Structure 1
C-alpha cells in the first residue's frame, strides 16, 4: 500500500456520520462535507484533477450570481418543468444578479436577503414601473432562493440556509370607496 504524498488530500468520517474531504490550495486548508464516502471521494478527485489542469475555482470566492447560474443549469433545469425553469431564470437575471449577484457566497447572511426581499417588495419591478413586486412573485422568488441555498448548504458553500421559507408581508390597509371597504394591495 502506497502512502499519500503531502498535499494530496484526504477524506474522513465525522461524528455525525457525514464525510469530509480535505485538501490544501496554496498552503490554505480547504474542507467540504458530504453525505457519503463515495461522494467525498468523487469530489476530492474532481478537485485534484482541476488543480492539475489549472482550472480550479475556489467555491468560497464564488459570487451569488455565479452560484445561481450553476444551480439553474446543473440542479434546477434537470428536475423542474420548463415553465418553472424559465421563471427561475428570469428571477435570477432580472432581480437577483442586479441586486446581490456580485456578493460573495461566503458573505451571504439573513440581513442581506431580508434587505433584498424588502427592497423588491417596495420598488423592485424589472419593467421600471412604480411599486414593488407582487406578493406572489416575492413568494416564488423565496421558494427559488430556499431551494438554491439548500443545495449550496449540501455543496458546502454556506453553513446554513439563510432564505426564509415564508416572508411576512405588511398588513394590507383598507380604504373606503363609497360604501364598500376595499383592500388596497399597493401602498
Structure 2
C-alpha cells in the first residue's frame, strides 16, 4: 500500500487508500496542512503502517466492541500464536467488551480505562492478563 503526497498552495497533504466500502467503492483518507513534504510523508507512512498492522480505525463512530472484534480477526488471529490469541480473545470477549464495548472509541476516556483496570485488578487478574491489558490500553490510546 502506498500514499500520494501533494503540495496544495503553501501546505502539503497526503491521500491513502484505506479499503473499500460495503458496495466495493474505494475509500480514501486525506489529510492536509503539513508545513513540509517530510511531515506529510511521515504522517502518510504512519497511516499506512497502521493499516498494514490492522490498527487503523476509520473516523466513523465505531464502538470499542466493533474495533476489538475486527482487531482479533484481522490482526491477532493471523499474527499471533494460538495461545497468545486465545488469551487476548478471552480478555476482550469476557472482560473488556461487556464493560466498555458499547462506547465509541473516540469517546472513551483514559479515566474510564483506568477505572476498569482497577476493577479487574481487584478481581485478581493474573500477571499475563495485566500484560495483555496494558498492551490493549496503549493500543486504544494510540487510536484516539
Indicate the TM-score class for this superposition, using the shorter chain for normalisation.
0.5 to 0.7
- Structure 1: unaligned runs, 5 residues or longer: 1-10, 23-29, 44-57, 123-131, 159-187
Coordinate RMSD, CA, aligned: 3.6
Secondary structure in 2 aligned to 1:139? helix
Secondary structure in 1 aligned to 2:103? coil
Q: CA deviation at 1:20?
A: 4.4
Matched pairs, number: 109
Q: Distance in 1 between matches of 2:13 and 2:126?
A: 38
Judge conservation of contact 1:120–1:133 (CA < 8 Å) in 2: yes
Judge conservation of contact 1:72–1:89 (CA < 8 Å) in 2: yes
Task: Name the counterpart of 1:67.
Answer: 67
Of the two, which has the highest radius of gyration?
1
Q: Distance in 2 between matches of 1:18 and 1:81?
A: 38
| Residue-by-residue CA offset, 1:62-113 (whole Å, 9 max, x unaligned) | 0011100111111111111011101101001110100000110111221121
| Residue-by-residue CA offset, 1:19-55 (whole Å, 9 max, x unaligned) | 3459xxxxxxx75663179x5xxx8xxxxxxxxxxxx
Give the TM-score taking structure 1 as reference length.
Answer: 0.47
Task: Name the counterpart of 1:170.
Answer: none
Give the TM-score taking structure 2 as reference length.
Answer: 0.59
C-alpha change, 1:118 and 1:20, in structure 2 (3 Å) is farther
2:14 aligned residue (10, 19, 24)? 19
Task: Name the counterpart of 1:133.
Answer: 124
Q: Distance in 1 between matches of 2:46 and 2:94?
A: 37
Q: CA deviation at 1:149?
A: 3.0
Task: Give 1:1-187 correspondences, 5 Å limit.
Answer: 12=5, 19-21=14-16, 31=30, 34-35=44-45, 39=48, 59-122=59-122, 132-136=123-127, 137-146=129-138, 148-149=139-140, 153=142, 157-158=143-144
Q: Distance in 2 between matches of 1:101 and 1:82?
A: 23
Judge conservation of contact 1:61–1:104 (CA < 8 Å) in 2: yes
- Structure 2: unaligned runs, 5 residues or longer: 18-28, 32-42, 52-57
As a proportion of its length, which structure holds more helix? 2
